[in-house]
Amino acid sequence: MELSEQEIIRRESLKKLRELGIDPYPADEYKINATSLEIKEKFDEEKNNFQEVRLAGRIMSRRIMGKASFAEIQDHEGRIQLYFNRDEICPGEDKKMYNEVFKKFLDRGDIIGVEGFAFRTQMGEITVHVKNFAVLNKSLRPLPAVKEKEGKTYDAFTDPEQRYRQRYVDLIVNPLVKDVFIKRTKIIDTMRQMFNEYGYLEVETPILQPIPGGAAARPFVTHHNALNIPLYLRIANELYLKRLIVGGFDGVYEFAKDFRNEGMDRTHNPEFTVMEIYVAYKDYKWMMGFTEEICERVALALHGTTKVQLGEHIIDYKTPYPRVTMTEAIKEHTGYDISGKTENELRAICDKLGIETDPSMGKGKLIDEIFGEKCEHNYIQPTFITDYPVEMSPLTKRHRENPELTERFELMVNGKELANAYSELNDPIDQRERFEEQLKLSEKGDDEAMFIDQDFLRALEYGMPPTSGMGIGIDRLTMFMTNSPSIQDVLFFPQMKPEKKKVELTEDEKMVLELLKAVSPVDLNQLKEQTGLSNKKWDKAIKGLTKHKLAKVEKTEEGLFVEVTN
């Protein structure tokens, strides 16, 4: 492993600490009786409190000034200044703990524990006067050097690739990042408290499923060796929660990890969190009011107001929200009435609107494309889009007034879907027919069409009461409530492309690569002449580039050609 100069110095300091008899990674408990925030908020000079404090944290800065120095440590609640005095740290003749350990062998990023008392400096800053300190962890990699001056941050750790891949560093040097995740937990806690007040039961359903049902999505597949069967990571937990309603529960909900083997972008991650809730003897109209209450409660819990900044917009979650049918929305924004249209007629409408289609798309997907391309982005303030065509909703009860539609809504916020809900289909015969329609779509090449779940159909045949269900994306809700532009900002560890290892090239390899970038592909002999390298150096350079997969050599009828691959 190649080490930087700083990493080599830190390992040398580690060795020196051990030579002094100091364990840089002690196993025993370090008892803490105060935190940085507690001291800063509650310290009172008149009360003379916090005179025997023990706290621990990571060194974020040091100012060495002879026999007296300052440092700043960061614990889980924030940062606080420390004052070190050599003669108090080392009252006897042996000054090694200050002169050597503190001044020479500790670095920014190391974790220490300190004992001392709180006081206010002449500059008015609450500080801990250190009497004793202990090394709790010697860090071997330097933290990014984030500098602050007059409230402005310089050289911040801002590269998204590094931040998402090394979230542990991001959390250390960018304190506001932690606040997003604290709010995420508060969102879930607020929702859970509300559901429990209603008397609904939190449950768990299988993640590994023999049939990936409950949504139209491409699943991840694996193999169970002992049973010798394929299993799928769930794309939704809907069908299992509805089985529990069949079993007699009045209301059930789950905060579920779902997985969809699809593309990644600023609003989608292959692994994501959804809350799904199902309540017996309710319909989608009742669920609209319930969903409004969730959003309003969450906004108030996080911000103390229903108005939340999201990009350039102020989103107001104050209830109630407008209700617009999908047919009305499409007619308003495209001029076309999709009511009663055949698949061919819908395909023709897509062509006129400039929307790409393919032969695998049925009526449901065509309508979904029209709405997504031409309507969705118009709904910035919370709006319920209702009454979806039956082809778009295989698990939804037909509309009580128009059998071509279903009793379904999606809550749109900032031009994106936030929640999806139905009056649940509980007619087993109709449900079987809908699944069979999905099977036909699958045979046409739609790899997101739903599987037929025979056990779920059997459950419906035992009888499921009238039920309404709703799912809300926790990741997206967190994005909206914390003004985060990307889903990666609200996931501790988002899925990333494999990390590319840095390739160190020789000077000859660099020269050949630059020539290749100018003209590629190029005749191998012509390129060799351009380089002016000897046969030995040429062979070594071209082999190095092909080994690193930066170039490739191909034989054609006209001879050997070299081209850039990266």
> What is the DSSP secondary-structure string of 111-162?
EEEEEEEEEE-TTS-EEEEEEEEEEEE--SSPPP--EEETTEEES-S--HHH
φ, ψ at 218 (rounded to 5°): -85, 125
Residue 469 DSSP SS3: strand
417 annotated binding-site participant: yes
Evaluated on CA atoms 45, 49, 51, 54, the torsion sign reads negative
Amino acid at 315: I
Neighbours of 539 (CB within 10 A): 12
Evaluated on CA atoms 453, 435, 262, 241, the torsion sign reads negative
| Per-residue CA distances from 202 to 281, 282, 344, 560 (Å) | 18, 18, 45, 66
- Alpha carbon 563 to chain centroid distance? 38
271 annotated binding-site participant: no
CA torsion, ordered 377, 380, 384, 385, to nearest 10 deg: -20
Distance CA 314, CA 381 (A): 8
Q: At what angle do helices 343-353 and 363-374 cross, to 10 degrees?
A: 20
Distance CA 385, CA 160 (A): 34
Binding site, by residue number, is: 410, 417
Binding site for Mg(2+), by residue number, is: 410, 417
